[in-house]
Amino acid sequence: MGKYHSNISSLVEILNSLNNFLKDYSIYVYLIDTNYHLIWFNNHTRDKFHLSEPSADTTCFKTFWGYSEPCKECPHFNQEDTSCIHRMVLRRKFPGDDSYTFLELISLPVLDSSANLEGFLKIGLDVTSIEKKQMELREKEKLLISIIKTSSDGIVLLDNDERIISWNRGAQEIFGYSAEEIIGKSVISLIPKELMELGEHYYIRKQLLEKGFIRNYETQRLHKNGQMIHVDLISSVLRDEQNQPMGRSVMVKDVSARKELELELRRTIQELSKLNELNEILYATTTLEEILRIILIAVTAGEGLKFNRAFMLLKSEIRNSLQGYVAMGPADENEAQRIWTSLKTRGRSLKEIVNEYQLNLSGSDKVINDLVHAIEIPLDFKNHILIDAMENRVSYHVVQKQIKSDVNLTLEYEGQNLADLLDYHTFLVVPLFTKNDKLGVLITDNKFTGRDITHDDVETLKIFSSQASLAIENAILYERLEDRIAELQRAYQKLETNADRLLRAERLAAIGKVAASVAHEIRNPLVSIGGFARLMDKKMTDNDELKKYTSIIINQVDHLESILNNILGIASPRPPEQVSVNIHDVIYHVLTMMDEVLHKKNIELDLQINCRQPQITGDEKQLFQAIMNIIKNAVEAIPGKGTITIRTECSKQFVDIEVRDSGHGIAREALRKIYDPFFTTKSGGTGLGLAVVHQIIKDHKGYIEISSELDRGTNVKIRLLRSIKKKKNQLVH
């Protein structure tokens, strides 16, 4: 290296001594004079730039970078204060390297003893990796700043005193404040007073203190115009390098639109749920009156569609008009307040209200029903709003007696305005119709609350009216079906009765023919046989064997006579004679005839005679036959030892006879047929005994009832009109 007699020379000596020490470090060290000539450079610089010893004409800018003039970053070139230390970062390409390298250069001035500038000592470090990271950070910072500025969400920075220090465009759009208006103010100015009083701000600060952040916190904030806005907040504590809090960030998302949609969705779900509940209630009944009542309650109840009053008008085919049918609602404002207060106090559901409330057409509901009954519009009066609504299936909203739709219709009929008839100027008319029929119209209003009828009210009522129309049609069809079924049942019963009568008449006609011919052919021989058998029985006192046979003949003859009498009683019934009969005498006569049979079968007789004057007006022979058949059936029902109870009671008008046995009883299926001719459960029976009894009691204007249980016996009750003595030898009944 050249020799210099200045401070630079001394500095070169020092640098030479340090060169070996610096050789292991990637540090660029070189010395230049004031004309940019290279005076000295260290080994690392030499090796990196492939240099030899510096010469008098080698400049730093040409040697290192191939420039023809000094670097613009050089403070000496820029005539900056050369007495100071300068720091700069150079972006350069080294020889043989296509990528850029970043060098951080420190420029130290070299002064002589007179403080004159002799040159510069340059010390450089490769800071490429650091600089690239800083560039990335700067790019990210730019991106972040751009995001913050352009974000539709509000991004706000607060200092430790909760003052706003940053306010982006998103925050301005949400709150209405510009950055100039809001920066420096407390964030508390954006919090509603009510939420401050509830301690919300304290809660947020507490969460930030404990967790360092708060997320997805939905609340309300104040707009510049004073309106409430729904927001979602995310807030985090900001900390410095010493981890000390320096404020916090707040991200604000305006969720007012979402809240409105949620509210609308909840309202829609509630309306649909309400309509579904109404639908379930409607279809739980089938009677027209009940369905109309449910419809009116659903329309006027607070738990339903919330109208004050509802009027139902139905089409009358008979009168060819649209008639006011039924209505529901308070008669006046006082009654309205009383009803609403009661409902609020009791807090009932719609289903409970429907189940409890009944229309009182002569009481609380009389006034409004008098109003609706006064409305009747002929079907051919086509330009009336009600007829048009029904015929064309269109809803109309009347406000202050004016139809809101652009139609040429009238509220007038025969000088009366519909609004005057309803005693209110604003109402809604909705048609009631099905696919195949036009049923009528439903009129609703809010006379007492004065609440406006909204578009949602109209749409909800239209949906409900469709359901109501189907329910009304179903009820009408159901009533018609019930009438038709009842008519068919009556026709079938009549046909069945006539068929039974015809069959019975045919049977009885056949029996009558047989009985007429048999009566003469059999009765005379039976009388002869019975007479001779009784005569022989009286004379045969010693021959027990023959007496036994004559007794059998007598019993069989009696049996044949009984059968013959039953057949004749069914085939050719004759009206009973009207004479005074003591029913006790008849019973005793029957028991005398049955005494031997009762004795042989070891049947105990319990006779309870509780009537002093058992006189009736009737035919003694027929009554004898009836009681004989009953007691005979009782005897035959007892297989062995048993009891027959006969009891009589008298009232002012009737004589009651009861015969109860302890026999095997009658099955329930058979009990329904016991009065049918030829029906029998006995192998040797004719099925005529009880049929004859029933006919005789019926002819005597009496009543018979038979009850029985298997293995517990049978009970027969007979009630006959009692005769009362008015004068001597004169009976009345």
pLDDT digits (tens, 9 = 90+) for 511-558: 666 665 666 577 677 777 877 777 777 777 666 677 777 777 877 777
When comparing pLDDT for 565 and 463, which is higher? 463
Q: How many helices (H) and strands (E) does the chain have?
A: 21, 28
Segment 328-355 mean pLDDT: 68
Q: Of 164, 266, 251, 188, whose CA–CA distance to 216 is shortest?
A: 251
Q: What is the CATH architecture of 285-453? A: 2-Layer Sandwich (3.30)
Rounded-to-integer distance, Cα 122 and Cα 87, Å: 10
Q: Has residue 68 got a pLDDT over 60? A: yes
Rounded-to-integer distance, Cα 292 and Cα 328, Å: 10
State pLDDT tens for residues 196-214. 988 999 999 999 999 999 9
- Domain range 575-732, its CATH number among 3.30.1330.60, 2.40.50.100, 3.20.10.10, 3.30.565.10: 3.30.565.10
| pLDDT at 733 (0 to 100) | 41
Q: Has residue 572 got a pLDDT over 70? A: no
Of all residues in the chain, what percent carry a pLDDT higher than 70? 86
| pLDDT at 599 (0 to 100) | 87
DSSP conformational letter for 618: E
The token pair that represents 663 in the structure block: 């026999």
Contact 129, 136 (CB under 8 A): no
Segment 615-621 mean pLDDT: 91
| pLDDT at 99 (0 to 100) | 86
Rounded-to-integer distance, Cα 39 and Cα 2, Å: 8
| pLDDT at 349 (0 to 100) | 61
Residue range(s) of every CATH 3.30.450.20 domain in the chain:
7-128, 151-254
β 376-378/396-399 pair status:
unpaired
Q: Has residue 355 got a pLDDT over 70? A: no
Angle between helices 583-600 and 620-637 (to 10 degrees): 30
| pLDDT at 4 (0 to 100) | 39
Contact 376, 323 (CB under 8 A): yes
| pLDDT at 332 (0 to 100) | 79
The token pair that represents 3 in the structure block: 């020799």
| pLDDT at 527 (0 to 100) | 73
State pLDDT tens for residues 450-490. 899 988 888 888 888 888 888 888 888 888 888 888 888 98
For 259-292, letters b (16+ CB in 10 Å) and e give: beeeeeeeeeeebeebbebbbebbeebeebeebb
Residue range(s) of every CATH 3.30.450.40 domain in the chain:
285-453
Residue range(s) of every CATH 3.30.565.10 domain in the chain:
575-732
Q: How confident is the model at residue 728 (pLDDT cuts 50, 70, 90)?
A: very low
The CATH number that domain 7-128 falls under is 3.30.450.20
Topology (CATH level 3) of domain 151-254: Beta-Lactamase (3.30.450)
- Mean of pLDDT over the chain: 84
| pLDDT at 732 (0 to 100) | 40
**How many other C-beta atoms are found inside a 10 Å radius of the C-beta of residue 451?**
12
Whether the full predicted model's pTM is greater than 0.75, yes or no, is: no
Rounded to the nearest 10°, the torsion over CA 546, 550, 552, 554 is -170
Q: Has residue 634 got a pLDDT over 70? A: yes
Least confident of 99-108, 357-366, 643-652, 656-665: 357-366
When comparing pLDDT for 283 and 254, which is higher? 254
| pLDDT at 639 (0 to 100) | 86
State pLDDT tens for residues 111-158. 888 888 888 999 999 898 888 898 888 888 888 878 777 788 999 999
Segment 271-297 mean pLDDT: 76
DSSP conformational letter for 397: E
Q: How confident is the model at residue 585 (pLDDT cuts 50, 70, 90)?
A: very high
